[in-house]
């Protein structure tokens, strides 16, 4: 029972996403309180009128708006007696509410979902957040955002890169890597009339090659992950190693005269689920809609977390962790009867963290290959009046096209040094199933976006009351800065016509008003805590709205397809297809077996799995964890569930200030270490202890600059680039002693550091 609701200050619904259980619950509640008649609900059991949702939740929403505007201290979450959990987030004129009513999602995950949704909005629409609810194409935009959220949750379940939010590169030999780079460089250089900045080659959610020209700003890892997310949604690939082995075995059998053939499991699901497409096929086809997640039953097992304070390896574990008794989410029984005979003594303080609920959040849907394809599409009862409903509300389950496109483009906004929302155009095409070519070109009038974003920041801070008391000269300087930025915008856009010109004239008229100028200067000179005059606040808000309208007109209005870029992309696609045809099977296997664990088990006895992250470049190094969904009792599935749940728990502890955690759960030890080094690889002691604050984002990369703020807090006087942050998560057999785990952390980190220097 889940819902994501976005409303503005007028309580208009700007975005709505919910599942069938929530729709049924709301309709039943509406019938009970007289907002809906039973016969009206019977027309479409899965249609929910947004007005009814707002009437039911209006006391909660209005109270939250009151706290935001009057006390400046709103609620972050509310838990009701019936088990409903509400998590709130306020941004600009929008209030985002994530709702869960069945206990399968924790407060941390709901907050992460909201922040991820905001990241997607910024990536697709920039600061023009009102675009998500624009009436003209609301249904298509809502469906696209729902698909992206669904794809993100699927990737969080399946991919370690999205679990830890770091980029995973595909490790191939030097000759193949150089060949890919040369082809990408050739494609970038061929585009003359539009500045092309970056070219990427992805293989099943992993980065194979990246080329950027000399004049390009660095492509940030968070933007790379968002690009991978979009590519996964538009060009889905369901190839697995079992399919490859089945094809290979079938071919070998045919060559030796055998008559038996082994069809890939994905082909057994549906005869038309092909990943490949012809070069002249401009339709869409994609994987089937993923069935809903079924919660996994939980069996409790004894878990304990070891305190690292007072150990001999204090230089590796700078901060300690308390000991917890954590219920295991595993559906498997404990196979170690002698666990209770450990010599160590653990204590168990009270803690409200529930690992089982964290695990339920990311439980992976399992598809049965014996079911017909129709089972994946829910057939909903329709009525004669359903056509009058809002299609964006009725179709709560994201609709996916039937074929992959030959060529696909999308306006995106990247984070650069000079602009937080730098407009760029994304051009994508599928080279081979699972292999996607992406070209990033600069958007038209991109030099205006930097000035607009600077004005946005200043006005947002003024409206939020984030200012210092200024004297007359300082206040005049701030006014002059804004005036200079607006004048530059006017100068850069002096040749525009039509609606853009009318918006520019309106902005100029509003800004040059004497009433706004005098009132703004008076507010800047007043004491801190003084409220802005209502007239000035309204004038600034209207100016802010008009500037966002200008941003939307410049970058989000429909554009004609650039045929030269499209032709270059398709030519490069054909060339890459020919060059990589012999590597197709190799890349398919490599994408799912990137780093084998066998390379480490002999050097580190007892090590089962590890995840190593360089948080300066946000690159991930970890052995592959591939799970076959054909069998319910796949042991790799059990290991994967344990890794996912314990890593999520380590992130919860990190957000509380613990940078070192060691947990014993059944037959395994799970450890997490975070430390700092200089550019030569020498460990650094923190200048100031890490103390989490309420405004600190969740650990990760997509939801905010957590690690950048962490370094800034621990090293207040550091020079940018001089401090590097690293993370290492390990899974050991329970027979390995904690002191050896700490030793493995040092040795494995050194080994991986040396390997990274060799790769460079």
Q: Which of 702, 746, 759, 756 is nearest to 610 (CA)?
A: 746
CB contact set of 117 (below 8 Å; sequence gap of 6+): 4, 6, 96, 145, 149
* 8-state DSSP, 339: G
On the question of pLDDT at 638 being above 70, the answer is yes
Q: What is the largest CA-CA distance in the chain?
A: 92
Name the token pair of 474: 């300082």
Given strand 13-18, what is the order of strands in its sheet?
A: 13-18, 2-8, 94-100, 85-91, 77-79
Instruction: Report whether 520 contacts 479 (CB < 8 A).
Output: yes
Is 150 exposed, middle or buried (CB count within 10 Å of its CB: 0-12, 13-18, 19+)?
Answer: middle
CATH level 2 (architecture), domain 2-114: 2-Layer Sandwich (3.30)
Provide the 3-class DSSP secondary structure of residue 657: coil
On the question of pLDDT at 378 being above 60, the answer is no
Place of tokens 């968002």: 226
The kind and range of the H/E element at 518 are helix 514-525
Instruction: Report whether 615 contacts 727 (CB < 8 A).
Output: yes
| Whole-number percent of the chain with pLDDT over 90 | 35
Query: In angstroms, rounded to a whole number, what is the distance separating the alpha carbons of residues 507 and 455?
Result: 12
**Predicted pLDDT at 48:** 80
Most confidently modeled of 5-19, 271-285, 300-314?
A: 5-19
CA–CA distance from 106 to each of 364, 478, 650 (Å)?
A: 16, 43, 15
- Average pLDDT, integer, range 14-25: 88
N-term to C-term CA, the chain: 48
Q: Which of 255, 280, 268, 233 is nearest to 367 (CA)?
A: 268
Strand pairing of 408-414 and 619-621? Answer: unpaired
Place of tokens 């209006």: 58
Choose the weakest-confidence range: 396-410, 417-431, 496-510, 539-553.
396-410
The kind and range of the H/E element at 17 are strand 13-18
Most confidently modeled of 186-195, 225-234, 395-404, 523-532?
A: 225-234
Q: Summarize pLDDT for 265-285 with one digit per residue, the tens.
A: 333 333 333 344 343 333 333
Map out the domains of the chain as residue ranges: 2-114, 167-238+402-444+560-590, 303-364+595-759, 452-555
Q: Which of 267, 183, 276 is nearest to 235 (CA)?
A: 276
- Average pLDDT, integer, range 215-228: 92
* 8-state DSSP, 69: I
Backbone angles phi, psi at 415, to 5 degrees: -95, 120
pLDDT tier for residue 118 given thresholds of 50, 70 and 90: very high
On the question of pLDDT at 253 being above 90, the answer is no
Query: In angstroms, rounded to a whole number, what is the distance separating the alpha carbons of residues 8 and 74?
Result: 16
**Predicted pLDDT at 758:** 55
Instruction: Report whether 505 contacts 491 (CB < 8 A).
Output: no
Q: Whole-number mean pLDDT of the chain?
A: 77
**Predicted pLDDT at 39:** 66
The kind and range of the H/E element at 609 are strand 607-614
pLDDT tier for residue 333 given thresholds of 50, 70 and 90: very low
Structure-model confidence comparison of residues 463 and 323, the more confident one: 463
- Average pLDDT, integer, range 383-401: 48
Provide the 3-class DSSP secondary structure of residue 268: helix
On the question of pLDDT at 377 being above 80, the answer is no
Q: Summarize pLDDT for 28-78 with one digit per residue, the tens.
A: 888 888 887 766 655 555 678 888 888 888 889 999 999 988 887 888 999
Do the two domains 2-114 and 167-238+402-444+560-590 of this chain adopt the same fold?
Answer: yes
CB contact set of 752 (below 8 Å; sequence gap of 6+): 612, 621
CA–CA distance from 605 to each of 101, 601, 609, 731 (Å)?
A: 44, 6, 11, 11
Given strand 196-203, what is the order of strands in its sheet?
A: 206-212, 196-203, 435-442, 422-432, 408-414
Q: Summarize pLDDT for 257-266 with one digit per residue, the tens.
A: 443 333 333 3
- Average pLDDT, integer, range 167-174: 90
The strand ranges marked E within 21-104 are 77-79, 85-91, 94-100
Query: In angstroms, rounded to a whole number, what is the distance separating the alpha carbons of residues 281 and 200?
Result: 22
CA angle 385/391/394 to nearest 5° reads 80
On the question of pLDDT at 603 being above 90, the answer is no
On the question of pLDDT at 461 being above 70, the answer is yes
**Predicted pLDDT at 247:** 54
- Average pLDDT, integer, range 155-180: 91
The strand ranges marked E within 279-405 are 303-306
Query: In angstroms, rounded to a whole number, what is the distance separating the alpha carbons of residues 664 and 339?
Result: 10
On the question of pLDDT at 319 being above 60, the answer is no
Given strand 724-733, what is the order of strands in its sheet?
A: 167-168, 619-621, 607-614, 724-733, 668-677, 660-665, 303-306
**Predicted pLDDT at 497:** 85
**Predicted pLDDT at 86:** 94
On the question of pLDDT at 756 being above 80, the answer is no
Query: In angstroms, rounded to a whole number, what is the distance separating the alpha carbons of residues 77 and 482?
Result: 37
**Predicted pLDDT at 123:** 95
Q: Computed over its alpha carbons, how large is the radius of gyration of the chain?
A: 27
On the question of pLDDT at 682 being above 80, the answer is yes
Q: Summarize pLDDT for 485-503 with one digit per residue, the tens.
A: 999 999 999 888 888 899 9
pLDDT tier for residue 599 given thresholds of 50, 70 and 90: confident
- Average pLDDT, integer, range 431-457: 91
- Average pLDDT, integer, range 227-248: 74
Most confidently modeled of 262-271, 356-365, 403-412?
A: 403-412
Place of tokens 């000079």: 418
* 8-state DSSP, 494: T
Query: In angstroms, rounded to a whole number, what is the distance separating the alpha carbons of residues 684 and 670?
Result: 24
On the question of pLDDT at 412 being above 90, the answer is yes
Q: Which of 628, 600, 586 is nearest to 208 (CA)?
A: 586
> Could you give the residue ranges of the DSSP H alpha helices within 67-173?
107-125, 138-158, 160-164
pLDDT tier for residue 398 given thresholds of 50, 70 and 90: low
pLDDT tier for residue 405 given thresholds of 50, 70 and 90: confident
Is 467 exposed, middle or buried (CB count within 10 Å of its CB: 0-12, 13-18, 19+)?
Answer: middle
Query: In angstroms, rounded to a whole number, what is the distance separating the alpha carbons of residues 202 and 589?
Result: 14
CA–CA distance from 348 to each of 235, 304, 325, 326, 345 (Å)?
A: 48, 8, 6, 9, 10
Q: Look at the chain and count its residues.
A: 760
Query: In angstroms, rounded to a whole number, what is the distance separating the alpha carbons of residues 193 and 231?
Result: 25
**Predicted pLDDT at 373:** 30
On the question of pLDDT at 336 being above 60, the answer is no
Choose the weakest-confidence range: 613-627, 628-642, 681-695, 717-731.
628-642
Name the token pair of 598: 């066998």
* 8-state DSSP, 217: P
Backbone angles phi, psi at 725, to 5 degrees: -110, 140
Instruction: Report whether 201 contacts 208 (CB < 8 A).
Output: yes
CA angle 394/397/399 to nearest 5° reads 95
Query: In angstroms, rounded to a whole number, what is the distance separating the alpha carbons of residues 659 and 653?
Result: 8
Structure-model confidence comparison of residues 178 and 337, the more confident one: 178
Place of tokens 């002698």: 338
Backbone angles phi, psi at 431, to 5 degrees: -80, -55
Instruction: Report whether 670 contacts 607 (CB < 8 A).
Output: no
Structure-model confidence comparison of residues 487 and 463, the more confident one: 487
Strand partners, 201: 209, 437
Is 710 exposed, middle or buried (CB count within 10 Å of its CB: 0-12, 13-18, 19+)?
Answer: buried
CATH number of 167-238+402-444+560-590: 3.30.450.30
């Amino acid at each position: 029972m889940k819902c994501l609701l976005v409303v503005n200050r007028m309580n208009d619904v700007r975005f709505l996403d919910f599942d069938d259980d929530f729709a049924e619950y709301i309709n039943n509640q509406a019938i009970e309180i007289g907002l809906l008649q039973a016969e009206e609900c019977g027309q479409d059991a899965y249609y929910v009128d947004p007005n009814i949702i707002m009437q039911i939740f209006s006391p909660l929403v209005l109270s939250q708006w009151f706290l935001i505007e009057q006390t400046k201290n709103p609620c972050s979450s509310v838990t009701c007696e019936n088990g409903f959990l509400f998590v709130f987030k306020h941004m600009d004129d929008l209030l985002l509410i994530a709702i869960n009513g069945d206990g399968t999602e924790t407060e941390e995950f709901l907050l992460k979902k909201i922040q991820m949704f905001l990241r997607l909005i910024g990536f697709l629409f920039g600061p023009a957040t009102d675009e998500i609810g624009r009436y003209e194409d609301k249904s298509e935009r809502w469906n696209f955002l729902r698909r992206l959220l669904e794809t993100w949750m699927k990737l969080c379940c399946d991919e370690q890169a999205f679990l830890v939010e770091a980029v995973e590169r595909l490790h191939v030999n030097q000759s193949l890597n150089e060949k890919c780079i040369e082809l990408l460089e050739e494609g970038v250089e061929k585009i003359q009339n539009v500045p092309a900045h970056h070219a990427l080659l992805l293989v099943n959610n992993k980065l194979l090659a990246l080329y950027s020209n000399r004049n390009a700003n660095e492509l940030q890892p968070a933007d790379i992950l968002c690009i991978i997310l979009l590519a996964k949604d538009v060009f889905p690939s369901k190839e697995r190693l079992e399919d490859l082995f089945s094809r290979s075995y079938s071919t070998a059998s045919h060559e030796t005269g055998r008559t038996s053939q082994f069809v890939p499991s994905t082909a057994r699901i549906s005869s038309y689920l092909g990943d490949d497409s012809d070069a002249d096929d401009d339709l869409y086809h994609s994987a089937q809609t993923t069935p809903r997640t079924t919660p996994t039953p939980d069996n409790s097992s004894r878990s304990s977390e070891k305190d690292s304070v007072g150990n001999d390896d204090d230089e590796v574990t700078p901060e300690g962790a308390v000991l917890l008794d954590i219920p295991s989410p595993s559906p498997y029984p404990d196979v170690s009867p002698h666990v209770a005979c450990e010599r160590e003594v653990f204590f168990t303080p009270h803690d409200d963290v529930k690992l089982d609920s964290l695990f339920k959040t990311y439980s992976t849907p399992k598809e049965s290959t014996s079911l017909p394809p129709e089972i994946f599409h829910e057939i909903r009862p329709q009525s004669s009046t359903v056509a009058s409903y809002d299609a964006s509300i009725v179709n709560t389950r994201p609709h996916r096209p039937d074929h992959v496109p030959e060529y696909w483009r999308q306006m995106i906004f990247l984070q650069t040094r000079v602009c937080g929302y730098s407009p760029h155009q994304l051009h994508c095409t599928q080279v081979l199933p699972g292999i996607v070519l992406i070209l990033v070109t600069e958007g038209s009038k991109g030099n205006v976006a930097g000035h607009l974003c600077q004005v946005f920041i200043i006005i947002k801070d003024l409206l939020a009351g984030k200012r210092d008391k200024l004297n007359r000269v300082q206040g005049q300087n701030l006014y002059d800065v804004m005036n200079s930025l607006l004048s530059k915008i006017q100068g850069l856009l002096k040749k525009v016509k039509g609606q853009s010109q009318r918006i520019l004239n309106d902005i100029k008229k509003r800004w040059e008003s004497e009433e706004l100028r005098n009132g703004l200067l008076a507010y800047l000179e007043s004491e801190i805590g003084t409220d802005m005059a209502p007239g000035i606040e309204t004038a600034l808000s209207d100016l802010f709205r008009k500037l966002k309208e200008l941003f939307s007109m410049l970058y989000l209005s429909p554009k004609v397809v650039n045929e030269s870029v499209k032709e270059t992309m398709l030519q490069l696609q054909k060339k890459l297809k020919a060059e990589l045809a012999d590597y197709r099977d190799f890349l398919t296997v490599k994408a799912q077996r990137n780093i084998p664990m066998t390379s480490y088990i002999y050097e580190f006895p007892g090590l089962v799995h590890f995840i190593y992250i360089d948080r300066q470049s946000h690159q991930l190094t970890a052995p592959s964890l591939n799970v076959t969904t054909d069998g319910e009792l796949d042991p790799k599935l059990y290991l994967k569930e344990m890794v996912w749940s314990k890593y999520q728990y380590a992130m919860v502890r990190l957000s509380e200030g613990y940078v070192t955690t060691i947990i014993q759960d059944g037959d395994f030890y799970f450890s997490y270490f975070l430390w700092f080094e200089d550019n030569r690889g020498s460990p650094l002691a923190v200048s100031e202890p890490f103390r989490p604050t309420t405004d600190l984002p969740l650990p990760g990369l997509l939801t905010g600059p957590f690690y950048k703020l962490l370094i800034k807090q621990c090293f207040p006087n550091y020079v940018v680039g001089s401090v590097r942050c690293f993370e290492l998560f390990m899974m050991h057999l329970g027979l390995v002693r904690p002191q050896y785990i700490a030793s493995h952390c040092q040795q494995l980190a050194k080994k991986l550091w040396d390997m990274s220097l060799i790769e460079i």
